[in-house]
Structure 1
């Protein structure tokens, strides 16, 4: 019955229409059904027979192929892949390979372990699949417990090295717990390993102690190392002495974490005296390392040729790209030239056709046609001129806004400086006055100060002034005080005059801005008109003259409004002299200057 089920499964797997996902689901369901039905049998040989049939029929090879597919799988497919890895590992335990026993142990089992480790490394990169990663690592543990010879392959595998370099503490803890369970389940596990495998296992535990800061990972690593020391005994001590500084690392980083007793035991084990055998092992390790480093250096030197080839390939690709860009630029220039030539030819053909049409027209219609062409040309020119004038007006308005904002910022800065200066003066006025320089000086007593004063008076008495008498000095002092007072009064009057001039200028600028921003006559109201009226007779007369000038400018032909006219053409010499070229007749006056 089991043989028929296995044959049917093999036949279904050979169907090329099945997708990889469908094959994985088929293998999971079939293997689970076969193993479950064989496990409930009384004789254990039935389960062994089913596993052997799965191997000899090639179903397990299909499982290994499905596990070794490209890592780009759908997110929901990872659970089926983890289940398949678990079932494949279970099927590889207790298989009777018969005559193909050597092939099974030397080729097939390493391929199964490599595929399972590949799945584990892919799940390790996805932190949300920790439970699936634990399931796959349990499968690795089952295989190692049944086939100890695979330990060296696992420890030296590229996929397992990627798992070791993971920064997730949960992944590191699962790896350490795997080896702890294997060592604790059987005392023969470590005894069957070579020294190189034991050294790799020790290297992993010490690496976790050096790189990880998680207490659970550190405790598991210490437990694993002590378990290895208990089972291996003197065989482990020479290997431990190759890790220099391990005792300092344990004492510095792992004390006070809740497992100080284990730390003390491991430190004592590391600090024990090495034997002669360990010294020989260290020398042998140095020779091996030197040979390996020389091999790496030679291989790196050989790889320089590939680097040179890659550099040349990139240079040629770069040069080819530059040549393509240059050709594309030449094509673009040629296209522009062809476009210009075709436009010129089209323009020439248009003028020739227009001349031909003029020749076909009657003589009495030529003048009207030319006038129509002139009118259309004038419309085009006027539209362009009005657009240019509006854009320039918009730019002037924008510049005025920016200038006004800059003026406001400068005014704010001036006010702030004045306020700061005023506050500084008020604080200086409130502070106590500074005593004279000669008061309170150390080193002069009252008697010395009186003696100096008497010497000064004697000097002044002995050497009186020969030019000016004391009465003349007093008179000069009074004159100087009067001149100073008059100068101060003139300064006050000058400041008042400057303030008055500044007020008049501000008033004038405000009126000019109002005149410039005045609305057009089509939308003006009586209130707006009253705001521009002035009680002054001269101002009203000048406004009337400006209005007349505007009317005269409006009667001019359109072509006169396009050219730059002089102020004298509008008969406004008085206004031009008064306002320095400012014409207030309105926006319709083309000859006005701002």
Structure 2
């Protein structure tokens, strides 16, 4: 027999499935025919590895992913037999495939997705009475997948679609599901199926079987469920007995509902298993209690021995510490006594030296001064004694005053803090109740004519709403006019003062200029006619004065409007009277205003 080109067959099948013009029904027929043909060709080969390699290529090439997508019941309508055939083919391809380095993704992602697709299709078939054979085919495919991959058991039992299948009222569906699990557990190729399952999977399977006993009333379903539980008990032994302890009342349920149904022998065996599990539980409880008691007694004994050793060590440690403390106290006392003896000895020696010194001094003093010296010594001694006595008396008085009940320092500080907080609170409340204090000047930043008019209107409204009880409105207007006149007179005085200062500065500048010229004047022997004319000309002071006047006028134009209030007389600075004063000051010189030029009367000056 010629070898089959597996890669070519898989590539051709993938090309056909990737054709986007195919309809779902056509794609389903292509998948069924293509998979069936390639599996038959690989199965008849004498080399057994050809089929395994074909299944691996189908997974790696993505053909199986296309097949799983074709299992969607929403895409295929009224073609349930073909979909059941596809489910059987997919389960055959998944069992025996070797994904190689993609083993983790194959077992953890791809196989659960295939099982979900099969269970979704089976749940859809349970809603249709005419599709019972297709349902059996799909569930057989699920059982084939479970037998090939044991780790899918927990995924199947916890699936939402499988729960929907269990919730159907069709007795044949429930019977076939239980028979599928029984056949899976008793199959020759999966004798160790139950032993390979984890505790979670075994608990789910046991819960499924017991729920059939509690819900169903059919004898066939009950018999198969009892057989399944007995099979699990025979293969799992103590593992199942521990799990049966969580299903209390199962033996009474079997006695009441499932006797006389034709399988009393199996029911009695299951009841004995449940009772033995209860006895085992009691035995385990007794053994656990013994273990706990033994552990507790050993713990108490060890703690007592450890505490005894610790007590002895503590006693020894305390005795050594007390002995060390007494030795240190004795040494400290001996040192104190020695220090006191040295202090007393040195004090005696110092007193003796002092008395000897006094006696020598007395011997050196004249006889008429000895009495006065002794009186001075007595006076000083009395002063020292009195100062010590007064200090002692004041200290005792202070201590007595402290002992008498009264406000402590903490209370005084607390009272001060409370008073400070209350004063601050009252100040803030008064500030909040009173009107906001604005600046006394008119030209604050951002104040425009419109805003000034609004403020004036608010002031007028407030005055009209809150008339003064002591002064009438006419009296207020009269006082306001007087204040405005006083303010205007004060501003005019300021203007006159500034004019005088300006005139004085101009004269000082003129004098300083003349002094500088005279100081820097050359000798008369070398003076020329031009230099003599410069001394006689007033062009320098006139130019200086004109420049100052021009700068002052520019500054006045740059000032804001509110700075020009009350300065109406400044326009008279360049009036006729002021010009005449300047002419008299500068000797016939005329200074013009903004529209007039500057003329000089130098001939009259000369």
Short-chain TM bin: 0.3 to 0.5
Question: Max radius of gyration: which structure?
Answer: 2
When normalised by structure 2's length, the TM-score is 0.45
TM-score by length of 1: 0.46
